[in-house]
Each structure stands twice: as C-alpha cells, then as structure tokens.
Structure 1
Amino acid sequence: MDKKVWLRRYDPGVPDHIAYPDQSVHQFLTNSAQRFGSRVCAYYHDQAFTYQQIDWLSTQLAKALLSMGLKKGEPVGILLPNSPQFVISFYGILKAGGVVVAMNPAYQHRELSFQVSDSGVRVLVCTEDSLPLIHSIFPASGLSQLMVTSDAQLDDLLKLATGQPVEPCARESVGCEQSLVKLINQAKESQVSLPAVEPDDVAIFQYSGGTTGIPKAAEGTHRNLTANTLQFQSWLPGLNAGKEVVLAAIPLFHVYGMVIALSMGIALGASIVLEPNPRNIQSILEQVQRHQVTLLPGVPNLYNAINHHEWVRQGQVRLNSIKACISGSATLMKETKQTFEELTGGKLMEGYGLSEAPTATHCNPMLGENRTGSIGLPLPDVDAEIVSLEDGKTRLPANTPGELIVRGPQVMRGYHNMLSETKKTLIDDWLYTGDVAYMDEDGFFYLVDRKKDVIKVGGLQVWPKEVEQVISEHPNVAEVGVAGVVRPEIGERVKAWVVKKRDVNLTAEEVKTWCATFLARYKVPDTVVFIDALPKSTVGKVLRRELVRLDDEEEKKTPR
C-alpha cells in the first residue's frame, strides 16, 4: 500500500504540508487584535469583549503575574468555567512566559489537591464560589496566591479595557487572595517587560489518564499548539478569517476546547460565544440563533441533545447558520450525524485526538466523503501506523486491528516529571496512543477500542465498543456502556449498562437476543442492567472504570 494513501482523499485546497511559523501560541491573539481589533472576540451572556480589549487585558494580567514574581516556565492554574476571565487568564499566563494548568471547576478536594500539588502550581486564578474548596487544600497544596474573580467583575474589566476608572471592590484582598480586577488595574501603571517566549517553551500541562490510567500532565509546547491550530484551520476550507462565529460549549479547560474552539477561533479572528454550561441546550440553541454561530465543536451527546430538543422538533429555532462541527471524545452514531446535518445543512465530522497530541490527529473531510464509524484521515503533516499488539513494532496491513501510533508536529514533549511513562509512550518520535484501530485501503482510520479495555472471555478478545455499537442500534436504546467484569467462578464476562429511551419497554433478554443476531455468542453480554444515566467525563466519554466500580458495589450487595 502507498505511504500516506490518505492524502488522495484530502479536500481540494487542504495542503499535504504546512509551513509553521516559529511563534508562541499567543501570537495568534496579537495578530488578530491588529487585524480585527474592533471585532468582538468573546460574547458572554449580554457582554462583549473586542479583540483589542482581550489583548490589552491579557497583557496587563501578564504584567501582574510578573510583578508577583512569576518566573518563566512556572505553572499557573486556571480554575474557571468558560468565560472572558478564562480567555484573559489563558493568554495572560502565556504572555508572562508561564505554563497554563487548566483545571475542571467540578473537581472535588482530592482531584484538585492532586493536580495542584503534582503540577507545582502556586498561583491560581479562580472564582469566588470555589474559595471554600480551595481553602480546604491549604497549605499542603503549595498554593500561595489566589487571583479571584466572578461574573460581577465583568463590567469593571470592560471599564478598564476602555480606559474608564473603576471603584474599589469591597473584597480587594484577603490574605493571599486578590481581586483580578485590582491586579489588572494596578498593572496598567507597571513598566515591567514581557519575556521572550520561544516556540519550544512549554505552554500547557494537560492532565490525562494516558494509556495506564495514572493521572499525568502532558507537556504541550507553543510549537505543538500552534501546529495543531493551523492544521485544523487548513482542514476547514469553508471558513473565512474575520467572519466566523464559534460557540465554545466544550470546556476550555480541556485541550479539545482549548485548541479547536479557543486557539483556532482566535487565529481565525472569529467571535467566540462562551457557554459555561455545556448541558444547557436551551441556552446553546438561543446563542446559535442570536449570534448566527458557524462553527460548533462538541461531543456526540451535545448533537444528539440538540436533535431531540423540543424547540428543534417543533421548528422553533433555525440552525442553518452552522457550517461545520467537529465531533470528538466519543463515537458519533450514524443517526446522530444524519439528523444533525439535515437540521442545519452544515457538516458534522467525526475526528480523533488525545491530550498527548493537543488536541487532534485525525478528522473526516469537510467537503469530501465521511465514512460511517471512521475517525477520518490523518491531518496535514501527521503520520499514522497500525502496529502489532504483541510486539508494538510490526506494521500491519489494511483492515487489521492493532495499536494506533502517530507522529507529527503537535505531539507532546513528554509527561511532566514522569520520564519512565514518557519513554513507554514516546518511542522513536512515535506516540503510542493505547487505542486499538485499523486503517482501510483508502486511508480512513477506525477505532476498535482502548487497548486496556479489551475483555477476555475464555481467552477470546471482545472489544466493548463493538458491543456498544450493536446495542446502540436497538430502536429503544438511548445510550449504552459495556465493560468486562470478573466473576470468580467463571472469569471475565461482558456486562452492558443500558439507558432506555423515554416511555419504552425493554428487557434484558430482548437486548441479549438483539446482540445474538449480530455478534458471536461469546460477545453477547452475560448481564444487562438498566441505568438512568451513564457515568461520563466532562467531554462526554463513558467512564468504563466507573461502570466496573458500579458492578463491584452491586456484587457486594448481592447475597451469596
């Protein structure tokens, strides 16, 4: 088979190779502020910040951080929902030469404490609402400075950006806590110079379970993020600089939202509509219509929820402004894709990526053929191979499952303070993804499952994703998760957790009979249980480890 056979399937105008500039990722903001200064950069509720304002505010925040003693290469935490303050903080930290450590605002004590301690963050940008939780991890975490903000500060941030004076806040500083507005206001008088930031400097720590499930920080450099931003910008030939509107409902603390919604949006000079609650479908629909959104990156659950929202079913909203949507983090079902494209007239493309290659390596074409079940083609300058699960080296022919390995300019530098894990994952410039996949004769790639999630039934391999795909096609099934569970008497078996569609009847035996029609007997679930909702990550991935934990709890309650 020809090397890089997938290049023949690229859309017209999508390059095989991109000439990447030697620049920092925040240079995209500086460039767009110069080109589109008065254009709205960020919409949030009823407020709007222009490119000039976001650029100026982030520069002042950078000066504030440097005045507080931040050293180049030092990590700074962001514990914020999608908001103007997140955007300002992200670019402010980068301009100061810091490393962004973006954290999930839904984290609890143990999760937050680990990430702060492991990354070495001592300065954290956070909301007032999160202070009780943050106080609970002092002083063992190493935190020493909190930059505190809230929605109530937005008016003052806009005043500062337009040269207006602001009144002192009631809560300007309490110990190590200081108001973000106060710090920016003070910094505008500072003469501190911003450091030179090089392309190979680390820009982000993105926490990932990686291939082993151990939380670790993938170090993404400015070069990595710049490359992936430009790869995706070139992949979408129908988008125009200075004319697009991106809806950022996908969390910006995750590298998927950070690169596709934020960085690519900024590079395009797009207006970014910030939605802090990705589950608020009503708000998302209102924003799409009000701002005439053209690009909506998301996860399959988001598109499925839009398809079935009563406003959409009743024809009360128009979605025809949408040109393109990238779907990631979970399998995009054929029905979801078809229905969404019929509603919008836009293109919904499944892609693939991981935190170690922030953020994407594959995507289906925007103009050309999309293949059902495929994660698409490797992006420009990405090489991809399927290798043997046994030796990790032997290249496998088309349509043969093995481990997906990739290399390209967006692949991380390594894991923070985890040399042995880095050596296991990065081998001779190849990133071993831990995902089992295959490639067809035309260069389209298909995920089979996670290498670590394979179920061994009597020595035979069962891939949970294959079983999930079959069950999801049952007309009465809304969602399904499948995992292997161990029974001491008989070994590992397949178990399915099913969410039924509303107002339907469905039994476990009906699900098993359905599976037996399409699957070999050993792949049919031994047990089917019904559940109200599946445990998921913040970007919509079903958490199989949580399903196994649920099984453990159920087994403990079962009398023997």
Structure 2
Amino acid sequence: MGAENKPWLKHYPKQIPESIEYPDISIAQLLIDTAKDFPNHEAIIFMGKRLTFQQLLDQVYSFANALKRLGVKPGERVSIMLPNCPQAVVAYYASLMIGAIVVQTNPLYMERELEHQLNDSDAETIICLDLVLPKVLNVKEKTKLQRVIVTGIADVLPFPKNWLYKLKLMKDGMKVEIPTGPEFYSMKQLIAEEVPTPLKPVYHSKDDVALLQYTGGTTGLSKGAMLTHRNLISNTYQITAWTYKAKRGQEKVLGVLPFFHVYGLTTLMHFAIHLASTMILVPRFDATMILKEIEKHRPTYFPGAPTMYIGLINHPDIGRYDLSSIEACLSGSAPLPVEVQEAFEKLSGGKLIEGYGLTETSPVTHANLIYDRVKHSTIGLPLPDTECRIVNPDTGEEVSVGEAGELQIRGPQVMKGYWKRPEETKAVLKDGWLNTGDIGKMDEDGYFYILDRKKDVIIAGGYNIYPREVEEVLYEHPAIQEAVVVGVPHEYRGETVKAYIVLKEGQKLTEKEVEKYCREKLAAYKIPRIVEFRKELPKSNVGKILRRVLREEAVREFKKKKAN
C-alpha cells in the first residue's frame, strides 16, 4: 500500500514517524531496561505501598526463579487471575521472563467461564487472588491445573493497613485460607524464599506467543487471540510515538483499566514500564476513589473507557476536586460521545481523545491526534505502520472514499491467530489483513469512522440504521447520562429501534419527550420506537455497555409475547 493510499500520513505532525524500528526483544526486556536506567524511580503506588523499578524487578526475578523451581517450563500457559495490584505486574513479567505464555483471566469470571478458559488454554498454573480461590477450587479437578499460587491484597499493604484489611475481611466473612498440600503455594512466601538472581528472558523469536487474550468475538465461547512479543512490543512503541510529549521517567499513569484486558495491559502497563512512568494502581473503578487518587497523586495520563469519564463528570462533588494534572486521556472500548469529551476536557484542562482497537490487534490501531487536530465522532488516524481499508463485506473489494463497508487492518500489532482454532483464524485473517467485523468508512483526509459492528446494524423496514448515530443524538440531551440503542424484533419492520436510557440524578424524561427530541434531529426511520429507562446498564469489566445482553433480553421478551 503506497503513500497515495494512506491519506492519513499527511496529517501526522512531524514528531510522529510514518514507520518505526521495533526491537526484536521479549516484553520482559522492557522492565529490565527501565530498571537499569531508573532503578530508584517509583514504578508503582498502590494503597500506600510504593515500589521502585529496581524493587519491582527484584520481585520479578525472585518469582521467576520460584516458578522455574516449581517446574513451569517455557511455552506452558500460566493463568493470572488478579485485579490491578503489584502482584499482577510481578506475575506477568515473571511468567514472560521464563518463557511461559500468560493467560489473562478476569477475576469476575463465573466457574463456567473459568473452566472453559483453563481447559481451552491447557493452563497448568494459576496465580489468583485469595477471594476467588473458592471458584478455582471448584473447577480445579476438571482442568489440568497442577499449581495454584495464591496472593491477597493484604500481602502488599504496609502496616497497619494490611492488618486492618485482614480484620475487615474476617468481619465480612470473606477471609479465605489457602489449603495445605503440594499443589498450593503462597506467592508472598515464594518471593520471600527466593534470591532475586537476574535472569535473561527466555526468548527465541518475535513470533513467540507471549499472551493468550480471550475474546468473545462474534461467535459462541471465547477464544484465545495469540499475541506475540512482536505484536505487544510494536503496539507499545506505536502508542509511545503517538504520545510524543510524554517524557521518560517523568510521567504518572492512572491505572484503573484492568490488566486482564489487553487495552489496560498495553496502554497502561506496557506504556508505563517502557516510559519509566509511575503507575498509580486502582483495583476497581469507583468514581470517588478515582477523584481522590487524581488529586493526591497527580497523574498526567489516564487511559480509560467512556463510562469512566461519564461517571466522573456526573459525580455530585466533581467541583471539589483538582484534575488539572491530567494532560492526556485515550478513550477506547466503546464510542466516546462528543459531549463527554468536551465536558471532561473542560474539567481537567487535558486532552481526551478517542481511539480504536481490538483484542486481535494488541489492541490499538487508530487514535485521534493528542496534541493536534481532532475530528469529533471519528476514531482518528491509523497508527504508524498500520494499513487500513474499507471493503465491501460481500465481495471483499475496496470501496470508494466515504462509502460504508467492513474495516480491514494489517500491521505488526495484528495477532498470530486464534489458539487451537485454525478455521476461525482463516476466516478472519487473509494475507495479513484482519477482518474486524466493524462497519466503517474513511473520509478524504484519512480519518476513520466506526458506524457499527456488522452484527449491530439495525435493518428496519429495509433501512440500515447505525446505533452509534442515534446514541450520539441521545447523549446530547441534557437529562441523559447513558444511552444505548439496539435492534429488537418487530413483526412488521423485521427490527425496530429500542433505546435504553439512564437519566442523570434528579432528572425526569418521558418516552414521548425522547421521541419528540429525536424527531428534530433524526430521519423518521431512525427514531427509537421503544424507550426503556433504567437505573444502570449492563457493562463489561472495562466499562463497555453490553449491547448484546440487552438485545438477548429483548429477543426473549418478544418470543414470550408471541408464545402467549
């Protein structure tokens, strides 16, 4: 693809290169290099606990040596089932240091999901939080697990916080005892017993798989995207190039995006380690807690999801907090409403830009420029070395500029394939091009728009309706905090438009008022025919509104009515 087919390149500021030289190294090498350059710089701040880069690396070496002693071999899968905490960082880099493949596991998984992931990945080791141990024990005998390594939040807290935390768990009836036996280990004990002997990362080639990142994708059970060291290194360098004003050893990154999601792993952990930035780790999103952390620790970067920014700008006490340290925020995982973007920028004085990516692309492929021109309602421009095109989903032929079609992506961050699923890999990857399943368009400037998931497009009475367009209009209403639009079954139109709405505190709105408001801004066929007001909407672990869950609910209701 020549420069004439990459109109986006002419909008790159001179500080962003069109192409990058990526080092042929293990992801673990990033931590070794940073600890060498900034040994005494703070790597992690977590609930009063502070670790320098040298202290972090020493813990990684100790734990890596312990994993080797326990028999974990290169290429083996190690499941990490932890929230954002220092142990999650240590477990990740220690596993990669000895050549193991990390399987990121959501601590909120139910037993059925956990069993599927452990069996699909053939994981023999799991490093988990003490509070999820009962779930692990319930599925252990149905899997290949040979080692269960347990840690708790109290393990890393300074006195007296560790003592108070344990007391609270006991009071809430949540204290978990680690079983005795040859298969169970305490992570804290393993690190304490091992000497931090330096290791050279086990690494054969850039095509070595570093991570199995599970994704629901478009079909049934979740499947593991095989992300290589090359994929993850490339995306880290691409994001760093995009954030060219960030200074090595001088930034602080707010770490609320979960590491067990590749968006948090790359834009937060990898980015921070590579740039020798301090990570301010937060185990879960709580608006009040986040506001306090921002005011206390003064982060400069805050990668997040739209629902996080919505939660902050609608916090009743937002005016009491100083957010002025924030310089840049990358929003991903869901469309970012313009009103949210503008409100957050006004509050913080920093830039909030929308980006785009997929689990299969490590994950970032596009972003608006942070320090330059932003096109609202777009996902911005492709990152360096990222090729993109819009094709007819039926024929695969490239469409004209401005026409809608399926977005395809090729670049060094695109996955190797799906774990143990050659047929599904073949269906989405051809000549390095990844079929994203997203309907989009590119304008004459090379800015890309995501209109919707292929499967989310609503076809009502023969018209194609893109939910995002309707949602943008709803978000402009001053009484609406969150909105999502889905296609629900309709006997006459095939599908019809339904809006689920969460109102801002103290606001009132009726279905008729919503319809009247939309009538002024949308073609008649796009107006929501059904409006349901809710107190909250179902969300994923990164705050993405789960449209699928709402659609499934609506389908069940429709079938029930028909049956009656």
- Shared topology, TM-score over 0.5? yes
The aligned counterpart of 1:167 is none
Q: How does 1:120-519 map to 2 (within 5 A)?
A: 120-154=122-156, 173-188=180-195, 195-212=202-219, 214-278=221-285, 280-313=286-319, 316-392=320-396, 394-488=397-491, 491-519=494-522
Shift of 1:488: 4.5
The aligned counterpart of 1:11 is 13
Shift of 1:471: 2.1
Bigger shift: residues 210-219 or 261-270: 210-219
Distance 1:468 1:225, change over 3 A: same
SS in 1 for 2:362: coil
- Partners of 2:499 and 2:535 in 1: how far apart? 13
Distance 1:298 1:190, change over 3 A: closer
SS in 2 for 1:26: helix
- Partners of 1:90 and 1:350 in 2: how far apart? 28
The aligned counterpart of 2:537 is 534
Answer whether contact 2:62 2:196 (CA < 8 A) is retained: no
Answer whether contact 2:49 2:158 (CA < 8 A) is retained: no
Distance 1:47 1:520, change over 3 A: same
- Partners of 1:153 and 1:428 in 2: how far apart? 48
Q: How does 1:71-86 map to 2 (within 5 A)?
A: 71-86=73-88
- Partners of 1:98 and 1:39 in 2: how far apart? 28
Distance 1:172 1:241, change over 3 A: farther
SS in 2 for 1:356: helix
SS in 1 for 2:317: helix
Shift of 1:555: 4.0
SS in 2 for 1:325: strand
Shift of 1:460: 2.2
CA deviations on 1:197-217 (whole Å, 9 max, x unpaired) are: 532210001111224354111
**Alignment of 1:520 onto 2:527:** no
Shift of 1:541: 1.7
Shift of 1:190: 7.9
- Partners of 1:192 and 1:461 in 2: how far apart? 56
The aligned counterpart of 1:160 is none
Answer whether contact 2:379 2:448 (CA < 8 A) is retained: yes
Answer whether contact 1:62 1:194 (CA < 8 A) is retained: no
The aligned counterpart of 2:553 is 550
Shift of 1:184: 2.0
Answer whether contact 2:489 2:555 (CA < 8 A) is retained: no
- Partners of 2:434 and 2:520 in 1: how far apart? 38
Answer whether contact 2:330 2:352 (CA < 8 A) is retained: yes
- Partners of 1:383 and 1:538 in 2: how far apart? 29
The aligned counterpart of 2:97 is 95
- Partners of 1:395 and 1:421 in 2: how far apart? 23
- Partners of 1:311 and 1:192 in 2: how far apart? 49
Distance 1:473 1:173, change over 3 A: same
- Partners of 1:199 and 1:172 in 2: how far apart? 39
The aligned counterpart of 1:38 is 40
The aligned counterpart of 1:163 is none
Shift of 1:193: 7.5
1:461 maps to a residue whose letter is N
Shift of 1:254: 0.3
Q: Percent identity?
A: 40
- Partners of 1:320 and 1:174 in 2: how far apart? 51
- Partners of 2:98 and 2:419 in 1: how far apart? 20
- Partners of 1:329 and 1:187 in 2: how far apart? 39
- Partners of 1:489 and 1:346 in 2: how far apart? 48
- Partners of 2:157 and 2:519 in 1: how far apart? 60
The aligned counterpart of 2:170 is none
Provide structure 1 residue ranges, at least 5 long, that are not aligned to the other structure: 158-169
CA deviations on 1:493-544 (whole Å, 9 max, x unpaired) are: 2222111222222111222222222222222222211111111111122212
Shift of 1:65: 1.5
Distance 1:193 1:457, change over 3 A: closer
The aligned counterpart of 2:107 is 105
Shift of 1:230: 0.5
2:81 maps to a residue whose letter is L
Q: State the number of aligned residues.
A: 545
- Partners of 2:361 and 2:77 in 1: how far apart? 19
